[in-house]
């Protein structure tokens, strides 16, 4: 379901976690502070839900910039919280929790993707397996930094040719171009930046095999500032949860679609 590795790019270590397309499912949550949880259903609020914990959480990681930064829009459980903007990198999540990364008004939305959630954040870092021209351009385009210099802790999300989702991050101080190169190094064909600066790359992963009862979550990035329980007790910012699919190829997770709660249910002949 999950592969974890560390890659070295220009002297900087990046943690990369690959979530396999067929054996995991993805769900978008809001944060209490941004974009706020008052208008979304209970399964998408600020903490991991009961159905996710029951299925088995194999990872959870940070989303993108705050709404005030105007880096893109967001739809959660069919409800648009911030308008989606043309030309921006977009993560789409369909009713079965399958992820798709594309560009709004170019490859997304698509009739092939019955999406229930979208998350945008700036333009593409990687396209066709290569860093984009923007990735090597002005670092100021890629978000405000704490110390008015480009290198900061950064995170990103990519997708390889098989559809597997890849989270890449470092708590070291890096530039967008190196982040793009790290995505390419782990096989991403397309990729987008997520949140940056010391407080916001946050990855949690299981400490023991995922189907053990009461599996605790631990920090997945060396030096991250948030508690490993951040996504269990309530996050201030939006995040993405990844859960285990059932162990039978004839059984899968599914959600209702439309506007409203998207609780996980199991469907198929082999459940």
Helix (H, G, I), strand (E, B) or coil at 1: coil
Task: Give yes or no for a cis peptide into 32 (omega within 30° of 0).
Answer: no
Sign of CA pseudo-dihedral 64, 70, 72, 77: positive
Give the percent of the chain with pLDDT over 90: 83
Give the span between the Cα atoms of 249 and 229, in whole angstroms. Answer: 31
Per-residue pLDDT reduced to its tens digit, 38-71: 778 889 999 999 889 888 999 999 999 999 999 9
Residue 211's pLDDT band (boundaries 50, 70, 90)?
Answer: low
Per-residue pLDDT reduced to its tens digit, 155-173: 999 999 999 999 999 999 9
Helices and strands, counts by H and E, the chain? 3, 19
Q: 166, 158 in Cβ contact below 8 A? A: yes
Tell me: pLDDT of 34 over 80: yes
Q: Give me the domain span that covers residue 224.
A: 2-268
**What is the model's pTM?**
0.96
Helix (H, G, I), strand (E, B) or coil at 270: coil
Tell me: pLDDT of 98 over 70: yes
By C-alpha distance, which of 131, 182, 146 is closest to 15?
182
Number of domains in the chain: 1
Q: 90, 47 in Cβ contact below 8 A? A: no
Per-residue pLDDT reduced to its tens digit, 243-255: 999 988 899 999 9
DSSP string, 141-199: GG---TTSSS-EEEEEEEE-TT--EEEEEEEEEE-HHHHHHHHHHTT-SEEEEEEESTT
Give the span between the Cα atoms of 60 and 218, in whole angstroms. Answer: 10
* Cβ count near 177 (within 10 Å): 20
Tell me: pLDDT of 101 over 90: yes
| Mean pLDDT value across residues 25-45 | 90
Mean pLDDT of the chain: 94
Q: What integer pLDDT is reported at residue 55 of this predicted model?
A: 87
- Segment (H or E) for 103: strand 99-103
């Amino acid at each position: 379901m999950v592969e974890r590795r560390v890659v070295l790019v220009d002297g900087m270590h990046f943690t990369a976690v690959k979530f396999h397309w067929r054996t995991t499912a993805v769900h978008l949550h809001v944060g209490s502070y941004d974009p706020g949880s008052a208008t979304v259903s209970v399964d998408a609020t600020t903490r991991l839900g009961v159905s996710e914990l029951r299925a088995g959480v194999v990872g959870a990681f940070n989303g993108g910039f705050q709404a005030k930064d105007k880096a893109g829009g967001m739809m959660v459980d069919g409800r648009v919280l911030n308008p989606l903007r043309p030309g921006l990198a977009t993560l789409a999540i369909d009713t079965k929790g399958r992820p798709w990364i594309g560009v709004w008004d170019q490859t997304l939305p698509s009739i092939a993707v019955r999406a229930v959630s979208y998350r945008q954040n700036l333009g593409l870092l990687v396209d066709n397996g290569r860093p984009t021209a923007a990735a090597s351009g002005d670092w100021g385009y890629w978000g405000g930094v704490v110390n008015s210099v480009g290198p900061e802790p950064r995170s990103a999300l990519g997708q390889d040719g098989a559809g597997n989702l890849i989270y890449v991050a470092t708590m070291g101080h890096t530039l967008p171009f190196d982040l793009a190169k790290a995505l390419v190094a782990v096989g991403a064909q397309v990729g987008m930046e997520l949140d940056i600066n010391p407080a916001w790359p946050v990855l949690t992963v299981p400490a023991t095999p995922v189907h053990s009862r009461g599996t605790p979550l631990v920090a997945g990035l060396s030096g991250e500032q948030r508690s490993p329980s951040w996504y269990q007790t309530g996050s201030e910012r939006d995040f993405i949860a990844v859960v285990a699919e059932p162990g039978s190829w004839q059984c899968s997770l599914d959600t209702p679609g439309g506007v409203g709660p998207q609780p996980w249910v199991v469907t198929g002949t082999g459940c």
